[in-house]
Structure 1
Amino acid sequence: MSTRLITPSQLSLFSISPVIGAWWEELQAHKLFEASKPEPSELEKQLRSDGARHEEVLLERLKANGHSIARLFGKQSDADYDATQDAMHRGVEYIHQASLRNNSMRGSADLLKRIEQPSSLGSWSYIPIECKLASKPKTTFLVQALAYCELLTPHLGNRPEEFELYLGGATFKKFRTKDFWAWYQQLRDRYEEFLESFDPHAIPEDERGDHGSWSAFIEERLMGQRDLILVADMRESQRQKLRAAGITSIDQLANSPENAEIPQLDPRIFKRLQEQAEVQCSPKDAKGRPAYRLRSLIEGKGLYALPAANAGDIWFDMEGFHDPVLGTKLEYLFGACYRDREDKTPQFKAWWAHSPVEEKTAFQAWVDWVEERRRQHPGLRIYHYADYEKSAMRRLSQQHATREREISEWLSKNVLVDLRPIVKHAIVLGEPNYSIKSVEHLYMGARQAGVTNAGDSVVAYQRWIDSGEPACPGHEPDGSPQLLSIENYNEEDCESTTYLHDWLCDLRQQQGLPDHFVDSKATENAEPRELKPLEQLSEQLLAQIPAEPSERVGLSPLQLSWNAHELVAQLLPFHIRENNVAWWAFFDRREQALTNPSDLSDEGEAVADAQWVSTAAQESARAGADYHHFRFDPNQLLKFKWKPGGFPQKVEFAETGLQLVIDDLNESAGSITLKDPWSSRDKRRANGFDPPIPKGPTPLIKTPSLPSEAVLDSLEEQSLAWLEGSQSLSPAMVQILERSALPELEDVNSAINGNPNQVASELARFFGQHNGITVTLQGPPGTGKSTVTSQLIAQLVEQGQRIAVSSNGNAAINSLLLKTKEALEGSGSDAQIVKTGSREKELNDQGIACIAPKKLNGIERVVGGTAWKLCLPELASEFDLLVVDEAGQLSLANLLAMARCAQSILLVGDQQQLAQPSKADHPGDAGQSCLDYLMGEGQAVVPNDRGVFLPTCWRMEPRLTSMVSELFYEDRLRAHPDNYANRIVSPIACQGSDGEPYPAQGLVFEAVGHSGRSVHAPEEIDRIEQLVCALLGSRYAIARGNRTEEGVLDANTILVTAPYNVQVNRLQQRLHGRARVGTVDKFQGQEAPVAIHSLTASTGDDAPRGVGFLLEPNRLNVAISRAQCLSVVVGSPGLASGVANTVAEAEQINRLCTLMN
């Protein structure tokens, strides 16, 4: 057993590098490390200096604010430990470098903060604050803070309930200890096991990755071993397969036969990697230039994808700086080369920015300069190298809400040309990577600028900030030499991109390729609708906000607080941003289809390899069409969400740009049928566009849908009226925007807690007494929120109110309308219920008419419709109450559009279940759902002054409810006492993974060991089949009011869910109708006596989209809470012991650890 006291930093290193970094750290701790680490880079030295400055700034600020601070030495001597205890007993407000220890760990906390909470010390206690330079929290920070919580526990007599991080930008972040403690404990246990079994002679195999302070050392070792990581674009998974086959170095790979068979590695990939290694191992020429080899010419790729030169062409590069102390990201330099001189030598132009305001101005100036140049030189291209510039411009256009239309147009018309994929498809380069610094060895001599790489530019810019030099590049005294060195570096980058383009053009000419470029992907409807008016209205509202925060007093012109005023302005272009991002992602997928089509298989928004099967012509009474049938791998991840009779969806053939409508899609069977109406085909032919249907494997890319015209028109019309002062926002919407409390709701909640059966009556009374309000009704799983909502609507109708019902989709609206009809009929009411804006047989058959909005005449008491319908001007002020079901999935922008239809609003939902999918990076809170926004960050349960929490679960048995309550609802959810009856009555004919008899009720974690499983785990399917077979035919009991209902488990009473379609498909095949099987989304709102959830992936690293998707709390909540009696989670224990890459993942693994225990 190890007797050495470990440190929090050693434990945090183990959390990210448990095999490599932790081993070398332990070797050093045993004083057996005989090598030396590389010297820190200038950037690393700069960051260390910034870290010390960051901490000092905080201490100075605390002192200036009059706080008492004990500044200790943190040397962890006996005197230091005594000094820390003395400061704690004296109750000093802040203790800096506090030395703490127990019988296994020691460390010096950056800061201890006094809080007014009783402990062994007296009426006060302490929590740790870790000071970190990063602007975002990392899991290593959490580990260190949790370690200090452990070290504080014996001094306080209890574990601190909270801890804080002080991050870059002078921001504090508070965390609840219990949200991470189970994760921390298993990490601590695993580290103890590692120390027990440490062998100083068992050197671990080197791997690239985050190994903390050992990363550079490991990289150096790999280089010295001529490891396979030297091969450009070598993935770790490919490296492991090659090593398993006995190929461990670049030299071995270079000398391997190109037709060698490597298990589980595609022969085409091996051939590419082998050729890359071979060229890298080839000697340089007499001028020191690396070897290169031309790749085979493929139409549409490489040199074929290179546009013809244009007199107006631009070569572009950007420089950015992340200030870790301030926590800001600044794109401070936009640089461009162009050729307007007769001799065609490159000229250079720069736009500088040293603040967010200047960044916006510089970005606008750069875009406007390009637009003016495009008018002079139609067909010009902006050449850049790698993806940074494209991504940064997208982000800036959304962040500053400016020039979004221009950036979208550049993308849709291929104005932006990334030379990196062209280079990679044109040549095999004898360098360890394809960065422009490596590629330029083919066509440029040595650089002359003092700054030579991106890291140097960051250091140089920080030195400029510290220097007090002028804000423009140049020589002293009028200019800044530091900025001049950065500008020279940026200019050389732009020149290098220019000369690379020249070199590629020459190469193309040498290959005899035509000097022209035909853009065959002129995508139909590729550009978003012209939405300029909404952008202008948004900018007008933003322009009304005073620049200085101190001037933002009183109410804004919209009669809102200035924060709410800004939010309204940011919400107006919500759909523009969503639409832009959807198209940008489409353009990326289209490019990916031509460069790396195999990567599309994990995309979800494209069919990676569709194989043509047949084409059938079909003539109808109205028109004829061709139907093209394709098959694809059903194991591929797809997120099309296509439904028969739903909104039309198109896909594009990546090779030709042809777009066709999906007529049928069967993901499980791997089949898709595309419809090509003859009228559309004839129109294309008339326009000279008649591409053939590809017969070989081809990617099909899902095309984005345009946003609803009605919602956009509504927002435009209303915002114009708000600006003119002819209309004002509804009081209910104002309450949401301001997040205003309703203290009167406290009494409603008290009454409901006393009698949970009276929720609908209490809310009906409340809405009858108050107008122009918004109330949230939060209903966790099984609490009957749909029943309560329908009863509430029925009671309000009886009071004479008129109700509008909406949601994010028609299914939820229809379900609530049908339930409301039931409630009204139960009370003897014949009030009319209608659905507007859609034709649905399900509703018509059950007596709910579907009529157009213009045909509503006021006699209908309940009207259901999407935001696209309820936002229409003819429905303004038509209703007393707007009920929004599944409000956690409805955007705040859509609610803003339709809020005027009613005086009051009821938001029904649960933010702890499946949430609104949002694609764009919206400013402020503009991207949130209406429910998430009103609840505020980190609120698991609605506050009593904003809504009503349904605390009684009528579905789940008590132990299962208790676990769901602990994991997701702050222990506020309780099972109805009758639910103790929920159980599997017959003995279950199998044992659990722990060898114990299977329980009759509750939550069970079924540990199934496996490795390397991603979207398909046959081991879990085997175990699930055993469970289902053991359960079928068993008797179960369910509480139904004051009676108990019994039944026999059959295919309809067992739900089986999995996160991936592949696992779902295989489960369906294996279970063959013996249970209901689907993804979690499919079963939201449903229940069954037994629910089984397969986690599928072996570890977080194996999981597509990471452990964040696999253990996402909303999805896990829905999965386990479908069960009335018994919920089983089947998964690999490796998921709990994997590396948490984000704070969210640490919290998710914490839930899994809690569940497993």
Structure 2
Amino acid sequence: MKRKKITPSQLSLFSRSPVVGAWWNELRVQGLFKDKLPERNDLENQLLKDGIRHEELLIANLKKQGHRIAELGGKQTEIDYQSSIDAMAEGYDYIWQASLNNKEMRGAADLLEKIKGSSPFGNWTYQPIECKLSSKTKTTFLVQACCYCELLTPILGSKPNNFKLYLGGKNFKEFQTDKFWYWYLHLRERFRDFQNHFDPDKEPIDIPGDHGDWTAFIDERLAKSRDLMMVAKMRQTQRLKLKEAGINSIDDLALLKESSKVKGLRTEILNDLKQQAQLQVSPKGTDGRPNYLLKKIEKDKGLMLLTKPNEGDIWFDLEGIQDPVLGTQLEYLIGICFKEKDSLRTTYKSWWAHNALEEKKAFEGWVDWVEKRLEKYPNLKIYHYGSYEKSAIRRIAQQYSTKEAVIDKWLRSNLLVDLLPIVTSTIILGEDSYSIKKVEKLYMDKRDADVKTAGDSVVAYRIWANSGEPEIPGKSPTGSPRLQIIEDYNREDCESTERLQNWLINLKKAEGLTFESHEEEKEDELSQEIKPLESLSQKLLDELPEEYKTLKSKESNDETFWENKTGKRGLSFRAQLLLGHLLAFHHRENKIDWWNYFERKEIARLDSDELLEDSEVIEDAIWQKCEEKKSARTSAYYHSFKFNPEQQLKLYCDNNSRLTLEIASTNLRIDAVAIDNDNGEITLKYPKNKLEKRIEEGESEGIPKSSCTLIKRPVDISKPLRDRLEKQANSWIDGNKKLPAALSNFLECNSVKGLVDLNQKIYKNRTDIPKSLAEFLEKESGITLAIQGPPGTGKSSVTAKLVTELLKLDKNIAISSNSNQAINNLLIKTKIVCQDQDLKIEIIKATSNKKDQELSEKDILLLPPKSLTLKERVVGGTTWVFSREEMKKAFDFLIIDEAGQMSLANLLVMAQCAKTIILVGDQQQLSQPTKADHPGESGKSCLEYLIKDANVVPKDKGIFLNTSWRMEPSLTNIVSELFYDQKLIGCQSNKINSIKWGKPLSSKSEDSYPNKGIIFKKIEHYGCSVKSFEEINLIEQIIDSLLGGSFEYAQFDKNITGEIKAKHILVTAPYNVQVNLLEQRLKGKARVGTVDRFQGQEAPIAIHSLTASSGDNAPRGIDFLLEPNRLNVAISRAQCLSIIVGSPNLATGLINTVNEAEKVNRLCRLMMFD
């Protein structure tokens, strides 16, 4: 049978459901499908009609604008294919429904747009536009657009550089084709393989999920087969383990014997799932209500956490919609129910928003309303169902820098009460989920509203967005019936939440439980501290028009939006907005720590298993022993605990950082004195006087002699910076002092005069960069520029030489960075250069740590900041040093190393110390860690802000060090392609960089491994998360084959050769568990560490283990594992050969966002080097 040509829709389905949906679809394509698909529901039919109308309205609008449009039928005949080519040759502005084909694919492009370019037809070419009703970009749209780019390539002579999506709301989004091309090619090859090996007799196992047009069909089959996914709270990983044990249905699970065990499942989890299944399969009562089982009542869990009702209580629900292109979320409806005084019935109130400005106003209006009600009912609570509402209000407050202090107060006082965890820790419900729609069957009859689910609400809102109806709910013509339907649904959600609270209260009373008061956390100090800076921040923001306050981070990069917009302070609106946001940056970072802390405490009381993947919580710490240690001054008990070393923790304690932990069950706060994340061991110090005081107050010791949950307690390290920033900001805002010129130019993103010419001069003589730049800087003052140094370009050496050249010009230099190690490295390099040039300059590190042996050995003086005379020539120090008031104008230059990791707020507070600022780093390598969702551009690093979304610094903003002196040229080329717009070039003398293998990889293998460049070694494994023994085995084999071989590389006009030893091989992995296992296995055969540990280092050979089997297995997902900055650092450590070891299944998982597609695209490109 002749195979039919594939279509973009087939590839699109394969991208979202490669096993189930694609198989059934192929069965239908081959004419073998005998079943019947469920008919589309009314909503789906309406969406189809609206999609057609959406496209027709676009065409009508283009015609109104006077464009020539070729209207073709999109049929798949030879005549239609030729008609499409003829329309391109005639140069139509747009071609509607163009029929395209090649040897194996066919399709009809929604729209082709004529653009400037070169093609066989003349000085024009075409790019595809996909029209989609959805207001958000789905990755399936990207797949279809890439299909049309491929179909256009032979016709146009080259692949279109870009394509567009025309989305709901009349929004065009443009994308670079190359950002998705390798992912697309990999997907297409997988689909070819799928077709070649298709077996109509091998029906796949049904799994729940998104299967495109086949979803309803699969859901029906799952229901008929009584699949395990019918069990509420069943995870896919648990389902697979049960199936491996021969338990295939909800009925099998319900009938499981009491003594049964399942490999990989804890007994208590298995018992919970079995009870859940038993309740779901048991018949409902005569009243139709579902069955439920009351769980064992425990202190500080379930019903015990339900607070006493108050007549001022509020029941709250949000409706929202996401735009993943901008990475933003719009909460378009805030709804509440409450009771008027002495009323038995609830009243409903709503706040609507259809854009960012309205969202901010709606949120502020709602918060003000609640605050006013709190004055009347100070003990009220706001009840909601699920974590969405709490997360959303935190996001909105931070995103718009509004009402943050109020929300902070609410969260600290536990004003918001989530009923979902109370329900799940109180009862086992005989329903297939714990959504409020299922739970409410216990206390409510059927709903009246036409919209039944949150998903329906989102779809209904999208339909409204394209309907032309008014922006308020109500009857036509003054109101929108569609919005009224959504509001009715929201009102019923609020009413259901109120009835659920009443049901739980009655249940609590029936169990004879009393309402106990719960001690609230008191952290009033922080709330008081934030007022001055918040007030100053708000003062700056209030001077701006409202539309400028609601910009999302990516929207703010639209330069045309900001043109000629200047405020009364002489700052552009953009700079003033950023300045206003930055004043509260440290508060937001500090508050997010506290918010997360309170949330963790709440989760620990309800279901500590949910903290298993939290990097700042030890979820199951098991007590081991206690030792008393006495000294002359004090006595303390040292408690040792063990924990699972596979938990991905970010907990550290050393001489420079204090780690305070809280035992969740007893609220005891205690310091850690030692933690070994590798072996899962921690020691806590319990001062004897603290224990005695606790006992005197009638409390227990506070340390469970079994297992407990340890939660990191926040430490406020930014208070000195906030205090200093407050003084500076007061002088800028209420005083007559101007911002430092360099800072002002930086905030304005001003071009540096003469820098383009300097770049041209430098590119002609790369060896003279420091001297040329120093001469340029001597003539300029009050500027900020960047030196971007990709891997191996000698960034630190160039900077050290620049410092030396500036010293010769009698300048004083301050050197700072986020890390002390980076500061130390630059000081040491500067010292070496000064010595080489016989320049006798004292170099100082301003620090309170007098035990820095590395610096002392290099003859670098260590001084406390207070001891500085401010006449020193070179001083290194952190932000805490240069933000001190006495540092004002103390230096000519402030050089910030690793500026891609330095926050804008930290630059803001120390910019006062120098006339000129030089930002050194690479925003394409490791970025700054932030926790809060900062408004506008305030969460960016210094380099990210200056460079915007560019991969390479513009020539009017800085210097790009474009030659890698480290890597072999072919390796440089791939790094340049993936991360630097192909502007990074390899040093030609590095062509000799290569290795010779010590021995064949294996006696049975005839693999011929390259001796330079890059290798991607694919290795199949399944179910691996933070460790992969398959990859460890292969890496050990590779290293054994390398050791004893030889290397050669160029360095400073010399050829360095030698035998490959352990120090010549760097091995990195993304997870500490894999790093530890590699260290144990390799036993000193290589240098092993995380990517972060080896930034700035190099070796002839670098090996990177990706570890996880698939995106689903990867902790923190594909986003972390394939984060481009980390991947860049991992690959580029190598001078000769870079080896990546990983599972090919990392490229086959479900891709949910544009960002994930871009990351997998890079992986697919690297996988071509196998």
2: CA distance, partners of 1:993 / 1:496: 67
Residue in structure 1 matching 2:1140, options 1129, 1139, 1144: 1129
2: CA distance, partners of 1:972 / 1:1126: 21
CA contact (8 A) 2:899 2:941 kept: yes
2: CA distance, partners of 1:1103 / 1:801: 50
2: CA distance, partners of 1:324 / 1:675: 46
Alignment of 1:683-832 (within 5 A): 692-724=702-734, 726-742=736-752, 744-832=754-842
The code of the aligned residue for 1:1046 comes to T
2: CA distance, partners of 1:724 / 1:454: 48
Map of 2:428 onto structure 1 = 428
Provide, for residues 1037-1078 of structure 1, a one-character-per-residue CA deviation record: whole Å limited to 9, x for no partner: 332322223333333222111111111111111112222111
Map of 1:965 onto structure 2 = 976
Q: 1:118 is paired with a residue of what secondary structure?
A: strand
1: CA distance, partners of 2:1047 / 2:330: 62
Q: 1:1039 is paired with a residue of what secondary structure?
A: strand
Map of 2:1022 onto structure 1 = 1011
The number of residues matched between the two structures is 1154
Map of 2:177 onto structure 1 = 177
2: CA distance, partners of 1:38 / 1:579: 52
The code of the aligned residue for 1:543 comes to D
Map of 2:555 onto structure 1 = none
- Note if 1:953 corresponds to 2:964: yes
Alignment of 1:1040-1051 (within 5 A): 1040-1051=1051-1062
- Superposition TM-score, scaled by structure 1 size: 0.94
1: CA distance, partners of 2:467 / 2:115: 40
How has the CA–CA distance of structure 1 residues 150 and 343 changed in structure 2, closer, same or farther, with 3 Å as cutoff?
Answer: closer
Q: 2:830 is paired with a residue of what secondary structure?
A: helix
Residue in structure 2 matching 1:884, options 880, 884, 896: 896
2: CA distance, partners of 1:1143 / 1:543: 35
2: CA distance, partners of 1:54 / 1:882: 55
2: CA distance, partners of 1:548 / 1:411: 28
The code of the aligned residue for 1:859 comes to K
2: CA distance, partners of 1:942 / 1:226: 58
Residue range with higher mean Cα deviation, 763-772 or 315-324: 315-324
How has the CA–CA distance of structure 1 residues 1019 and 456 changed in structure 2, closer, same or farther, with 3 Å as cutoff?
Answer: closer
2: CA distance, partners of 1:680 / 1:1113: 48
Alignment of 1:345-384 (within 5 A): 345-353=345-353, 356-384=356-384
Question: How far has the Cα of 1:568 moved from its partner?
Answer: 1.9
Question: How far has the Cα of 1:332 moved from its partner?
Answer: 4.0
Residue in structure 2 matching 1:1082, options 1093, 1096, 1111: 1093
CA contact (8 A) 1:1091 1:1126 kept: yes
1: CA distance, partners of 2:326 / 2:917: 40
The code of the aligned residue for 2:686 comes to D
2: CA distance, partners of 1:477 / 1:997: 74
Question: How far has the Cα of 1:209 moved from its partner?
Answer: 1.5
Residue in structure 1 matching 2:567, options 533, 556, 575: 556
Question: How far has the Cα of 1:19 moved from its partner?
Answer: 1.1
1: CA distance, partners of 2:894 / 2:506: 66
2: CA distance, partners of 1:102 / 1:553: 50
Question: How far has the Cα of 1:824 moved from its partner?
Answer: 1.8
2: CA distance, partners of 1:670 / 1:915: 28
Question: How far has the Cα of 1:45 moved from its partner?
Answer: 4.2
Question: How far has the Cα of 1:1082 moved from its partner?
Answer: 0.9
Map of 2:1158 onto structure 1 = 1147
Provide, for residues 483-502 of structure 1, a one-character-per-residue CA deviation record: whole Å limited to 9, x for no partner: 55544443332232222212
Alignment of 1:129-140 (within 5 A): 129-140=129-140
Residue range with higher mean Cα deviation, 1090-1099 or 56-65: 56-65
Residue range with higher mean Cα deviation, 476-485 or 551-560: 476-485
Map of 1:909 onto structure 2 = 921
Map of 1:287 onto structure 2 = 287
CA contact (8 A) 2:653 2:672 kept: no
Map of 1:671 onto structure 2 = 681
2: CA distance, partners of 1:940 / 1:474: 49
Residue in structure 1 matching 2:944, options 917, 932, 938: 932
Provide, for residues 910-962 of structure 1, a one-character-per-residue CA deviation record: whole Å limited to 9, x for no partner: 1111111222222222211110111111x222222221111222222223222
Alignment of 1:475-490 (within 5 A): 486-490=486-490
Provide, for residues 480-521 of structure 1, a one-character-per-residue CA deviation record: whole Å limited to 9, x for no partner: 7665554444333223222221221222222232332434x7
1: CA distance, partners of 2:972 / 2:98: 42
Alignment of 1:441-456 (within 5 A): 441-456=441-456
Question: How far has the Cα of 1:753 moved from its partner?
Answer: 2.3
1: CA distance, partners of 2:412 / 2:332: 26
1: CA distance, partners of 2:491 / 2:605: 31
How has the CA–CA distance of structure 1 residues 38 and 136 changed in structure 2, closer, same or farther, with 3 Å as cutoff?
Answer: same
2: CA distance, partners of 1:649 / 1:553: 49
Map of 1:154 onto structure 2 = 154
Map of 1:268 onto structure 2 = 268
CA contact (8 A) 1:783 1:954 kept: yes
How has the CA–CA distance of structure 1 residues 425 and 476 changed in structure 2, closer, same or farther, with 3 Å as cutoff?
Answer: same
How has the CA–CA distance of structure 1 residues 450 and 2 changed in structure 2, closer, same or farther, with 3 Å as cutoff?
Answer: same
Map of 2:556 onto structure 1 = none
Q: Give unmatched runs, 5+ long, in structure 1.
A: none
How has the CA–CA distance of structure 1 residues 466 and 756 changed in structure 2, closer, same or farther, with 3 Å as cutoff?
Answer: closer
The code of the aligned residue for 2:166 comes to Y
The code of the aligned residue for 2:871 comes to I
2: CA distance, partners of 1:1142 / 1:459: 19
How has the CA–CA distance of structure 1 residues 286 and 476 changed in structure 2, closer, same or farther, with 3 Å as cutoff?
Answer: same
Map of 2:1149 onto structure 1 = 1138
Map of 1:871 onto structure 2 = 883
Question: How far has the Cα of 1:353 moved from its partner?
Answer: 4.5
The code of the aligned residue for 1:862 comes to V
2: CA distance, partners of 1:724 / 1:456: 51
How has the CA–CA distance of structure 1 residues 466 and 848 changed in structure 2, closer, same or farther, with 3 Å as cutoff?
Answer: closer
Residue in structure 2 matching 1:1113, options 1124, 1128, 1133: 1124
Residue range with higher mean Cα deviation, 1116-1125 or 680-689: 680-689
CA contact (8 A) 2:998 2:1043 kept: no
Q: 1:405 is paired with a residue of what secondary structure?
A: helix
CA contact (8 A) 1:2 1:195 kept: no
Provide, for residues 677-724 of structure 1, a one-character-per-residue CA deviation record: whole Å limited to 9, x for no partner: 456556666777665112212121223332512322333333333333
2: CA distance, partners of 1:998 / 1:193: 26
How has the CA–CA distance of structure 1 residues 469 and 116 changed in structure 2, closer, same or farther, with 3 Å as cutoff?
Answer: closer
CA contact (8 A) 1:179 1:1147 kept: yes
The code of the aligned residue for 1:945 comes to D
CA contact (8 A) 2:137 2:324 kept: no
- Note if 1:1060 corresponds to 2:1059: no
Q: Percent identity?
A: 51
CA contact (8 A) 1:169 1:328 kept: no
Map of 1:535 onto structure 2 = 534
When the two chains are superposed, the root-mean-square deviation of aligned CA atoms in Å is 2.9
Alignment of 1:91-170 (within 5 A): 91-170=91-170
Provide, for residues 944-1002 of structure 1, a one-character-per-residue CA deviation record: whole Å limited to 9, x for no partner: 22211112222222232222222222222233233233333564442599833333332
Q: Give unmatched runs, 5+ long, in structure 2.
A: 549-560
2: CA distance, partners of 1:178 / 1:466: 31
How has the CA–CA distance of structure 1 residues 639 and 525 changed in structure 2, closer, same or farther, with 3 Å as cutoff?
Answer: farther
The code of the aligned residue for 1:256 comes to L
Residue range with higher mean Cα deviation, 612-621 or 876-885: 612-621
CA contact (8 A) 1:993 1:1007 kept: no
2: CA distance, partners of 1:992 / 1:109: 53
Map of 2:551 onto structure 1 = none
The code of the aligned residue for 1:557 comes to K
Question: How far has the Cα of 1:150 moved from its partner?
Answer: 0.9
2: CA distance, partners of 1:450 / 1:170: 27
CA contact (8 A) 1:54 1:325 kept: no
Q: 1:124 is paired with a residue of what secondary structure?
A: strand
CA contact (8 A) 1:43 1:458 kept: no
Provide, for residues 793-838 of structure 1, a one-character-per-residue CA deviation record: whole Å limited to 9, x for no partner: 1110110111111111222112111211222222222223222243
Question: How far has the Cα of 1:1149 moved from its partner?
Answer: 2.5
2: CA distance, partners of 1:811 / 1:445: 65
Alignment of 1:631-650 (within 5 A): 631-640=642-651, 642-650=652-660
Residue range with higher mean Cα deviation, 759-768 or 244-253: 244-253
Provide, for residues 398-419 of structure 1, a one-character-per-residue CA deviation record: whole Å limited to 9, x for no partner: 2332221222222222221111
Alignment of 1:233-272 (within 5 A): 233-272=233-272
Map of 1:976 onto structure 2 = 987
